[in-house]
Chain A
Amino acid sequence: MATEDPPSDGVEPAGVAGAAPDDGSRAGPGASGTPVVRGEEVVKEYETGGQTIRALKGIDFRIDPADSVAIVGPSGSGKSTLLNLLGLLDVPSEGQVRLRGEDVATLSNRERTLERKRTIGFVFQSFYLIPTLTALENVEMPRMLDRTPRKTRERATELLERVGLGDRLDHAPDELSGGQKQRVAIARSLVNDPEILLADEPTGNLDRDTGDRILDLFEELRTEEGVAVVTVTHDAYVAEAADRVVDLIDGELREDVESTTRADGGGEP
């Protein structure tokens, strides 16, 4: 299905995985428009302890604008590796990763860092806030060296208010709960207006209810800010919150057809 309607609010055509040859290794809705990030036959190998480990064994993937994807897999499946590649933190050993059509391997370290800053926002399981900065300063941090202090402050304040922490701008991280810390991290991830929000086990350190709220927040922000949300997790429950689920097992990617259906008000399989 080369022509596909651009995804509208939360309504994904069912059976979307059927697009193009369904050999089980393709993972893409086939939506129109250039994907933000696209991987073609990506292989990633590591040397550890004298052995070469093939973490990713020739996978294809794409992230489209305002996409909502969950990458599910057990530990050791290559999730972190894929996350690193999606986040432009690393380059593939073989195959190509393209950012808006451009091969990332052609970029220098510095250029890649700049692209990463512009395109990707990160949210981690352990939050990784800087304990010596206030919430507001933490959100500003990615732009602190940009010499646009006023605009940065405005954007940061706006984002913190958006995630519901407008009354805690000056709090230090150790004065915030886990959920609040994660919300600060989310605000921080958006301060550079990225196209993709990459979340690594975002609810891993949170209780169920708090986690649910975070996942809801992702969904709201996705539609408001037009940012793609990619969640990497081993928890199927978390994966269900995404529109599209992709299974990563032993370095191979497979679209999870069952979990991918989530029509508005539709039932879960």
Chain B
Amino acid sequence: MSRLRRLAAYVPTLLLARRNVSRARARSALAVAAVVIGVVAIGAIGVGGEAFKQDQLEAYEGFGGTATVSPVFYPNEEEPNMNFSDAEVARMEQAAGGATLVPVVQPFGSLVRTPSGETVVTARVKGIENPGEFYETADGTVPENWRRSVVVGSRIASNNDIEPGDQMTVVVEGELERTFRVAAVLQPQGFADPLSADQSVFVPVSAFDDPAYGEVIVRVDPATGSVDEAATGIENEFNARRRTVEVDRVQQQREQFEASFETINRFLIGVGAISLLVAAVTIANTLLMSVIEREGEIGVMRAVGYGRGAVIRLLVAEATMLGVLGGAIGGPVALGIGASINALLVGDPLAFTPAGLRYVGVGLAFGVLTALVAGVYPAWTAANKRPAEAFD
């Protein structure tokens, strides 16, 4: 019951505060604008960051059950192990349980030439058994018995105007120099693809006389199996005495990305919070000016019996009001900006994550809190001025 009474006592305080805030309109508006900027900064960075994260993480979808096995390179050895042999691949298959293994030939010194004779510098030549098994094509089809054509990644195709049916020459130093027909162009796969298909030209393994596999891709359907199990199995098999293979899980990359994203995002939010600090200074300044102007009035209030506590409450209420107003404007603006960023990066303006919305809420709360705290110093100064000094 006493809480209700205290609330009623606050109503005149709020009335007085509201009237006072509407006094110096331009000044108050600027202070409110400062809070708005702070709230929007925090909220928009938060939502925008989340949208960016969602967008980036999407790239990892579909590769969640993938890992890359590469040989560990010891440079001082007599015969450094740079490739896997067929026998080793067989061992891997055993150790990986039910996982699908895709050995990849990664020849050094390879070149790709377009139909017109230009060398495609950025293309990587990779020899695998059948890309059609796990990649979708954008154009053309990969024949089941794939031996005589090549499959081109989306970036290579779009940058060099390559279509199915075109001829491409693949040159591998010491191995082959042959012209192939392009059978298909693949769908874009994104940066998380361990095979970097977008930048690759896939050649059938059978084209190599003596295939040496630079790496082996392990694929597990996340619904049915665990890539971690397969990876562990392989590691146990090969790394018992000495690390001979390195297993790199895409999932790990994803987690690393998420972790570094969090750090960067927090840093950016911190920077956004600095703008709230500026807002606090603005509000303190505004209130201080107002207090100095109102010296007589405040003096009268003290003279007629308003205690110091009442004066402080009144002035802090004024400051808080500015903060609430700033938050009330800044919140929706932040959501609006966030929606645009969502639409841009993720395609759906309403794709707010709970974390993103939290950031908007936090920004709002901080806006109000900062304003409140900013009001304390001017309120304190005003309340502690001796009423006698105010009149002259």
Contact = CB atoms under 8 A, between A and B. Distances in A.
Interface of A: 80, 84, 87, 89-90, 109-110, 113-114, 116-118, 120-122, 124, 126, 128, 130-133, 141-142, 144-145, 147, 188-189, 192, 200
A129 B356 CA distance: 48
Task: Give me the 5 closest cross-chain CB pairs, A-B, nearest first.
Answer: A117-B305, A132-B19, A142-B304, A144-B12, A84-B388
A130 B305 contact: no
* A128, A141, A147, A189, most chain B CB atoms within 10 A: A128
A117 B22 CA distance: 28
Contact of A145 (B12, B308, B387): B12
B297 A130 contact: yes
Given A109-B308, A114-B305, A132-B23, A89 B16 contact: no
A145 B9 contact: yes
A90 B390 CA distance: 12
16 contacts: A90-B386, A113-B302, A114-B305, A116-B304, A122-B303, A124-B391, A128-B296, A128-B299, A132-B23, A142-B305, A145-B9, A145-B13, A145-B306, A145-B310, A147-B9, A188-B304
A113 B391 contact: no
Interface in B12-43: 12-13, 15-16, 19-20, 22-23
B20 A132 contact: yes
A131 B19 CA distance: 9
Interface string B336-354: 0000000000000000000
**Which of B5, B20, B391 is the most central at the interface, judged by chain A CB atoms within 10 Å of its CB?**
B391
Contact of A80 (B300, B303, B308, B391): B391
B388 A90 contact: yes
A109 B16 CA distance: 24
A45 B15 CA distance: 40
Nearest to B21: A132
Main secondary structure of the interface of B (DSSP, over half): helix
Contacts of A200: 391
Contacts of B12: 144-145
Contacts of A128: 296-297, 299-300
Contacts of B392: 80
Nearest to B295: A128
Contacts of B13: 145
B82 interface: no
Contact of B301 (A90, A114, A118, A141): A141
A239 B310 CA distance: 36
Contacts of A131: 23
A145 B19 CA distance: 16
A133 B8 contact: no
B304 A122 contact: yes
B12 to A, nearest CB: 4
B307 interface: yes
A122 B388 CA distance: 12
A64 B13 CA distance: 36
Contacts of B22: 132
Contacts of B16: 130, 132-133, 144
B251 to A, nearest CB: 62
Given A132-B23, A144-B16, A110 B388 contact: no
A110 B307 CA distance: 7
Nearest to A80: B392
A183 to B, nearest CB: 16
A228 to B, nearest CB: 17
Nearest to A89: B388
Contacts of B8: 147
B5 A124 contact: no
B304 A192 contact: yes
A22 B320 CA distance: 59
B19 A192 contact: no
Given A89-B388, A122-B300, A113 B23 contact: no
